[in-house]
Structure 1
Amino acid sequence: MTPIPLAATQDPNVQLVLDVLPALLVILILSALCGKLAVKIGQPRVVGEMVAGIALGPTLFGRVFPDAQQTLFAPSVKPVLYVLSTIGLTLFMFLVGLGLDHEKAPDGYRRTATALALSSMVPALLLGGAVGLVFHQELSRSDISPSMFAFFIGGALAVTAFPMLARLLYDQGLERSPIGVLALLAAAVDDAVAWCFLALLVAFHGNEGLLGGAVTIGLSIIFAVLVLTLGRRLLRPLGERVRVQGDMTSGQFWIVVMAVLAAGWFTEAIGVYAVFGGFVMGLAMPRDPAFQRAVRQRLLDLVQVLLVPVFFAFSGLNTRIDGVTQAATLLPLVALLLAAFIGKYSGCMAVMRSRGFSWREGSAMGALMNARGLMILIFVNVGLAEGIINQKTFSLLVLVALVTSASALPLFNLSLGRSVTKLPSQQAVAEARAAEEQLRK
């Protein structure tokens, strides 16, 4: 039988597959290469993946090979990448919530985490808002008021990347250490407030007024309360069955995935975005170690290797960093970077010192909370899609995400007197976790 030439294919579904698969292959190859390079120079893998996403956009790939870039990421491919990235982020946030031992946090850490979140958000919000007001004419769309633009810039700089922070701490073997648990709790509060703030901004921008924003936030609170009370109670027998069996069946895994996607769909529908639903559902899941291990074994590699890099690539397609060295662009970028770093760092340092932690621990916490990676990218992607910011501001904020995220690990290690040139070995990570488990027992 003579094979049908690819060019003769007329089925649009088949053509879409032929368009999407090469794009995914290129994303995965470059993401893997940049991720390995990032680890070699002492950075988290996620920083390399962010660089890979920007490189695939118009700044590098689009400038050197414009025709190839347009062919590889054709208009029909971008919606598919958006859906895959949204699913990936939702599942990843679910895994982060699943692994957070929020109920076993040391006494007083919840109050300290709340104080940390607010003290890191408020200064960044104020400083970012001031930068937005000063550079409104240079950066903002003509149809966006100075106050709306200032609030958005402040909100973007106030977020902390919960998923990136979790990956950074996991790579370091510190996700269950006191400072790790405290940082994750603070970042969780930070992100929850950020989503509510973003919902208000989108509601006001869409001419829904205060009522529209209040309805969205109210529905979010009702959703979270129901999932963390009734939902947790309904899911508890599932965890017990997995513990008795020692593993998870396909049917049980189906229940978990359906619950996560349903939660993501609901929060997306009410305007808080799917990642929030995934995170809350992760918090509601059984805390049994066997259950958590079984879910991670099925989801973690797929999410980290395939779906999250797709999100970075999708963001990179909207990022242009050419012309950054021009004075008209360089000055706002420097102002944004200073506001982002000083706002987070100073607030965290003040709270940590007031709660009896050392200067080194305060500096380390300030470094961790400056990791913005995924969350600021989600924030600015929403702003761009809603027409709150333009392409230029989007690109500047992506650069802020990259620089502050890349600086987090070196400054964290420097603050604690650790090596700044490489990540700890797998043996060192295993030994650190074993020691922490002994202390917990």
Structure 2
Amino acid sequence: MPSLALTAAADPNLDLVLKVLPALVVILLAAGICGRLALMVMQPRVLGEMVAGVLLGPTLFGQLFPEAQKAVFPAEVRPILYVLSTIGLTLYMFLVGAGLDHSARVPGEEKRAGLLALSGIVPSMTLGVVAGLLLWNTLSRPEVSRLEFAFFVGGALSLTAFPMLARILYERGLENTALGRLSLMAAAVDDALAWCLLAVLSAVHLGSGLDEAARTIVLTALFAALMLVVVRRALRPLGAEFARTRELGPSAMYVVVLVALTAGWLTDWIGVYSVFGGFLAGLAMPRDPAFRAALHGRMMSVVSTLLLPVFFTFSGLNTHLDGITGGTMLLAFALIMLAGFSGKYFGCALAMRGLRFSWRESYAVGALMNARGLMILIFINIGLAQGMITQELFAMLVLVAIITTGAALPLYKLALPDRIERAEVVAPEPDVSIAGTVQ
């Protein structure tokens, strides 16, 4: 019988499998260890998984053991990891959308979420644009205009880590509280607007014109309407069948996964990234709480344990943190960090206070909305690949992502200690008026 090595040498497909599987083993080991360490220091597991992804890249693993890193993550494996990471993130955000408790809606919720979204994007965008204008000579490529550079920085800083925020809320059981729902809805709006801005900047930078950017925005709106009206109605028989049998059989799971992946594929084709297609597909699912619970039971463990760490690692493989050296660069980083943190944190906190939430709740939401996670890494990887930003700015924005995400839960718990969270946030909510106020 021929050896496995000889068989792999004769079969390129088997050879690729023998390279992908060790990469997955290393990813899961690192994610498991770092996730456990994160829990030990009172951080969400997802932050540890995010850090694990960065450490497996050139920042640590590639710096200390370059040959080993090349052996574990050779060039031919990275496209496979990209596909797995995209599928994982799309399905995870699908489950987030499907898991929202529609019965928990209160009058005026959409209005309040819209105001929170504006408070998260306008101050951080404004401060980011000002920082970009000031730092253009220091950090920009010469072929990039001052205005284009400034709006890229503003767009990056206006992001909220939608998947990261969702994971934090799920780990604390807050996804269907007033604070959790408002934060998720506002983060979705912020990120969607930021991706539309990136579409405009890419069109300008690449010379494809504003017509292409307008097409992206219009198609996104049409797709959202299609999913939330037409597809939602088309899926009602699926909910009725589950209500009759109380079981998600193979046929139902085929439909569920097909809808989620097709939605992700279409939004990728439109140009706003598959994560939003997955989330919209989740919102279109039947609203029966038992259906949502069964769906999560069938899918969440595999998606969050296997596929999400692949997403974090793929992003980490493209992350270099050696671009910040010297006093000028440190001052530039401090300005970007200050603009990003204060715009989102205080903007959202003041908006929540204006909606008649308590100061504790307001600062808690400001902390959650300030987490940027790896969504900003996706954003800036696109900018780097298209030549819109330098490696130095890329490194600074990576640090912004890590610091703001790491600070999110401690600031949240400082504002809302566990005893107050259980008593005031997780407890049944009081009635609210159509103006959307909470006493």
Q: Given the two structures, how large is their TM-score scaled by the length of structure 1?
A: 0.92
- Unaligned stretches of 5+ in structure 2? 433-439
For 1:43, what is the secondary structure of its paired residue? coil
Does the 8 Å CA contact 2:125/2:158 hold for their aligned counterparts?
yes
**TM-fit CA distance, 1:181:** 1.8
Alignment of 1:145-160 (within 5 A): 145-160=145-160
Query: Are 1:206 and 2:203 counterparts?
Result: no
Bigger Cα displacement from structure 2, 343-352 vs 227-236 = 343-352
Specify whether residues 159 and 330 from structure 1 end up closer, same or farther in structure 2 by C-alpha distance, changes over 3 A only: same
Alignment of 1:62-141 (within 5 A): 62-101=62-101, 104-141=104-141
Q: Which residue of 1 aligns with 2:187?
A: 187
Q: Which residue of 2 aligns with 1:324?
A: 324
Specify whether residues 178 and 9 from structure 1 end up closer, same or farther in structure 2 by C-alpha distance, changes over 3 A only: same
Alignment of 1:139-288 (within 5 A): 139-288=139-288
Specify whether residues 361 and 268 from structure 1 end up closer, same or farther in structure 2 by C-alpha distance, changes over 3 A only: same
Bigger Cα displacement from structure 2, 390-399 vs 156-165 = 390-399
For 1:233, what is the secondary structure of its paired residue? helix
Specify whether residues 240 and 385 from structure 1 end up closer, same or farther in structure 2 by C-alpha distance, changes over 3 A only: farther
Does the 8 Å CA contact 2:8/2:15 hold for their aligned counterparts?
no
Q: Residues 210-262 of structure 1: CA distance to partner in whole angstroms, max 9, x if unpaired?
A: 21111111111111111110110000110121122111011110011111111
**TM-fit CA distance, 1:7:** 8.5
Query: Are 1:368 and 2:384 counterparts?
Result: no
Q: Residues 136-165 of structure 1: CA distance to partner in whole angstroms, max 9, x if unpaired?
A: 233223322221111111111101112211
Letter in 2 for 1:139: L
- Taking the aligned partners of 1:393 and 1:84, their CA distance within structure 2 comes to 28
Bigger Cα displacement from structure 2, 28-37 vs 78-87 = 78-87
Letter in 1 for 2:393: T
**TM-fit CA distance, 1:298:** 2.1
Specify whether residues 224 and 155 from structure 1 end up closer, same or farther in structure 2 by C-alpha distance, changes over 3 A only: same
Specify whether residues 17 and 419 from structure 1 end up closer, same or farther in structure 2 by C-alpha distance, changes over 3 A only: farther
Q: Which residue of 1 aligns with 2:437?
A: none
For 2:59, what is the secondary structure of its paired residue? coil
Specify whether residues 439 and 354 from structure 1 end up closer, same or farther in structure 2 by C-alpha distance, changes over 3 A only: closer
For 2:176, what is the secondary structure of its paired residue? coil
Does the 8 Å CA contact 1:216/1:272 hold for their aligned counterparts?
yes
Letter in 1 for 2:320: R
For 1:259, what is the secondary structure of its paired residue? helix
- Taking the aligned partners of 1:419 and 1:39, their CA distance within structure 2 comes to 19
- Taking the aligned partners of 2:212 and 2:300, their CA distance within structure 1 comes to 36
- Taking the aligned partners of 2:78 and 2:199, their CA distance within structure 1 comes to 24
Specify whether residues 124 and 7 from structure 1 end up closer, same or farther in structure 2 by C-alpha distance, changes over 3 A only: same
**TM-fit CA distance, 1:412:** 0.6
Alignment of 1:281-360 (within 5 A): 281-322=281-322, 324=324, 326-360=326-360
Q: Residues 65-110 of structure 1: CA distance to partner in whole angstroms, max 9, x if unpaired?
A: 0111112111111111111111111111111111123564212222
Bigger Cα displacement from structure 2, 400-409 vs 318-327 = 318-327
Bigger Cα displacement from structure 2, 82-91 vs 7-16 = 7-16
Q: Given the two structures, how large is their TM-score scaled by the length of structure 2?
A: 0.93
**TM-fit CA distance, 1:436:** 4.2
**TM-fit CA distance, 1:199:** 2.0
Does the 8 Å CA contact 1:102/1:185 hold for their aligned counterparts?
no
Specify whether residues 366 and 8 from structure 1 end up closer, same or farther in structure 2 by C-alpha distance, changes over 3 A only: closer
- Taking the aligned partners of 2:206 and 2:252, their CA distance within structure 1 comes to 41
Does the 8 Å CA contact 2:323/2:392 hold for their aligned counterparts?
no
Specify whether residues 5 and 169 from structure 1 end up closer, same or farther in structure 2 by C-alpha distance, changes over 3 A only: closer
Count of paired positions: 432
- Taking the aligned partners of 1:190 and 1:324, their CA distance within structure 2 comes to 28
Identity %, equivalent residues: 55
- Taking the aligned partners of 2:227 and 2:147, their CA distance within structure 1 comes to 35
Letter in 1 for 2:71: T
